Amino acid sequence: MLAATVISLLVVMGLALARALLGPTIYDRILAVNVFGTKTVLLIAVICFTVGKPEFLDIALVYALINFVSVVGVLRYFEYRSRMGDTAHD
């Protein structure tokens, strides 16, 4: 059962990576990177459960925080850039 979970997470991560590379807009790509990061956290948690070492869950939590902060930062950057681009044409 755990092998099926790991395989399905890897498939979803591959699909998210494909969306990140092929996404038509920047927001599709950012969302795909966020999904990839979330699935990575889940994969780390499943591996921790499989191995029986709950100490590595701290790594998953730190990775989740880094993923969240970086996605919010990138979205703020593109929001700021789009606002500056709109005012430059006025």
Token pair for residue 78?
């593109």
What is the total residue count of the chain?
A: 90
Please write the tens of the pLDDT for every residue from 27-74.
899 999 999 999 999 999 999 998 998 888 999 999 999 999 999 999
pTM for the predicted model, two decimal places: 0.82
> Quick one: which of 41, 39, 36, 38 has its CA closest to 20?
36
The count of structural domains within the chain is 1
pLDDT value at residue 86:
67
Domain that holds residue 67: 2-88
Contacts of residue 61, Cβ cutoff 8 Å, sequence gap at least 6? 41
CA 83 to chain centre: 25
pLDDT beyond 90 at 19: yes
